[in-house]
Protein backbone atom coordinates (compact mmCIF):
# COMPACT_ATOMS: atom_id res chain seq x y z
CA UNK A 1 0.00 0.00 0.00
CA UNK A 2 1.13 3.51 -0.68
CA UNK A 3 2.28 5.57 2.25
CA UNK A 4 3.74 8.99 2.97
CA UNK A 5 6.02 9.53 5.96
CA UNK A 6 6.98 12.86 7.40
CA UNK A 7 9.19 11.79 10.25
CA UNK A 8 9.67 15.28 11.68
CA UNK A 9 6.65 16.09 13.79
CA UNK A 10 7.87 19.54 14.73
CA UNK A 11 10.86 21.68 13.80
CA UNK A 12 11.85 24.93 15.47
CA UNK A 13 14.49 27.26 14.03
CA UNK A 14 15.50 30.85 14.39
CA UNK A 15 14.61 33.27 11.64
CA UNK A 16 17.03 33.36 8.69
CA UNK A 17 18.17 29.79 9.21
CA UNK A 18 17.68 27.28 6.42
CA UNK A 19 15.41 24.35 7.18
CA UNK A 20 14.62 21.11 5.34
CA UNK A 21 11.39 19.17 5.74
CA UNK A 22 11.65 15.51 4.88
CA UNK A 23 9.12 13.42 2.98
CA UNK A 24 9.51 9.75 2.15
CA UNK A 25 6.89 7.88 0.17
CA UNK A 26 6.06 4.33 -0.82
CA UNK A 27 4.26 3.32 -3.96
CA UNK A 28 4.16 0.43 -6.37
CA UNK A 29 3.17 2.60 -9.31
CA UNK A 30 5.50 4.14 -11.84
CA UNK A 31 3.13 7.03 -12.49
CA UNK A 32 2.27 9.20 -9.54
CA UNK A 33 2.30 12.78 -8.31
CA UNK A 34 3.85 14.37 -5.26
CA UNK A 35 2.63 17.53 -3.60
CA UNK A 36 3.52 19.90 -0.83
CA UNK A 37 0.88 21.98 0.92
CA UNK A 38 1.17 24.64 3.59
CA UNK A 39 -1.39 25.10 6.35
CA UNK A 40 -0.84 28.36 8.23
CA UNK A 41 -2.39 28.95 11.67
CA UNK A 42 -5.49 30.36 9.96
CA UNK A 43 -6.27 26.81 8.79
CA UNK A 44 -6.56 27.00 5.02
CA UNK A 45 -4.55 24.70 2.78
CA UNK A 46 -2.19 26.41 0.37
CA UNK A 47 -0.82 24.52 -2.62
CA UNK A 48 2.97 24.87 -2.97
CA UNK A 49 4.13 22.42 -5.61
CA UNK A 50 3.16 19.40 -7.69
CA UNK A 51 5.72 17.06 -9.22
CA UNK A 52 5.02 14.07 -11.42
CA UNK A 53 7.04 10.90 -11.16
CA UNK A 54 8.70 11.38 -14.54
CA UNK A 55 10.19 14.73 -13.68
CA UNK A 56 13.10 14.45 -11.26
CA UNK A 57 14.37 17.95 -11.81
CA UNK A 58 14.74 19.91 -8.64
CA UNK A 59 12.68 23.05 -8.45
CA UNK A 60 13.32 26.42 -6.91
CA UNK A 61 10.72 29.08 -6.26
CA UNK A 62 12.12 32.06 -4.42
CA UNK A 63 13.24 30.86 -1.00
CA UNK A 64 11.59 27.47 -1.51
CA UNK A 65 13.25 24.52 -3.17
CA UNK A 66 12.35 20.88 -3.60
CA UNK A 67 14.60 17.88 -4.03
CA UNK A 68 12.97 14.87 -5.67
CA UNK A 69 15.03 11.68 -5.48
CA UNK A 70 13.32 8.65 -6.95
CA UNK A 71 16.18 6.37 -5.87
CA UNK A 72 15.42 7.05 -2.21
CA UNK A 73 11.68 7.75 -2.68
CA UNK A 74 12.07 11.16 -1.14
CA UNK A 75 10.66 14.57 -1.95
CA UNK A 76 12.23 16.99 0.51
CA UNK A 77 11.38 20.65 0.89
CA UNK A 78 13.90 23.32 1.88
CA UNK A 79 13.20 26.87 2.98
CA UNK A 80 16.19 29.15 2.70
CA UNK A 81 16.54 32.16 4.99
CA UNK A 82 13.37 31.30 6.87
CA UNK A 83 10.95 33.98 7.98
CA UNK A 84 8.38 34.10 10.76
CA UNK A 85 5.61 33.99 8.13
CA UNK A 86 6.84 30.54 7.12
CA UNK A 87 5.53 29.19 10.43
CA UNK A 88 2.90 26.63 9.51
CA UNK A 89 2.20 22.94 9.21
CA UNK A 90 3.53 21.51 5.96
CA UNK A 91 2.05 18.43 4.36
CA UNK A 92 3.53 16.15 1.75
CA UNK A 93 1.08 14.09 -0.30
CA UNK A 94 1.17 11.35 -2.91
CA UNK A 95 -1.47 10.75 -5.53
CA UNK A 96 -1.89 7.94 -7.98
CA UNK A 97 -4.51 6.09 -9.94
CA UNK A 98 -4.99 2.52 -8.82
CA UNK A 99 -7.49 0.39 -10.75
CA UNK A 100 -8.93 3.61 -12.18
CA UNK A 101 -9.45 4.91 -8.65
CA UNK A 102 -7.81 8.13 -7.68
CA UNK A 103 -6.11 8.18 -4.30
CA UNK A 104 -4.44 11.03 -2.49
CA UNK A 105 -2.43 9.95 0.53
CA UNK A 106 -1.20 12.56 2.99
CA UNK A 107 1.66 12.57 5.42
CA UNK A 108 0.91 13.50 9.02
CA UNK A 109 2.49 16.92 8.54
CA UNK A 110 5.48 18.75 10.00
CA UNK A 111 4.86 21.75 12.21
CA UNK A 112 7.45 24.41 11.46
CA UNK A 113 8.06 27.14 14.03
CA UNK A 114 10.21 30.08 13.02
CA UNK A 115 11.31 32.15 15.99
CA UNK A 116 12.16 35.81 15.53
Partner 1 sequence: EAQVTQNPRYLITVTGKKLTVTCSQNMNHEYMSWYRQDPGLGLRQIYYSMNVEVTDKGDVPEGYKVSRKEKRNFPLILESPSPNQTSLYFCASSHRTGYQETQYFGPGTRLLVL
| Sites of contact with partner 1 (CB under 8 A) | 31, 33, 35, 43-45, 47, 50, 52, 54, 91, 93, 95, 101-104, 106-109
The sign of the CA dihedral 17, 78, 89, 83 is positive
Residue with smaller CB distance to partner 1, 13 or 33: 33
Residue with smaller CB distance to partner 1, 14 or 97: 97
Q: How far is CA 12 from CA 16, 70, 85, 112, 116, in A?
A: 12, 28, 13, 6, 11
Residue with smaller CB distance to partner 1, 61 or 116: 61
Angle CA(29)–CA(96)–CA(98) in degrees, nearest 5? Answer: 70
Minimum Å gap between C-beta 82 and partner 1 is 22
Minimum Å gap between C-beta 20 and partner 1 is 19
**Backbone phi, psi, residue 30, to 5°:** -95, -20
Residue with smaller CB distance to partner 1, 44 or 85: 44
Amino acid sequence: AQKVTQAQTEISVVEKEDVTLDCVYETRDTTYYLFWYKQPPSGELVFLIRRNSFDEQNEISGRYSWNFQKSTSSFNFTITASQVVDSAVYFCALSEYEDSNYQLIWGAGTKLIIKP
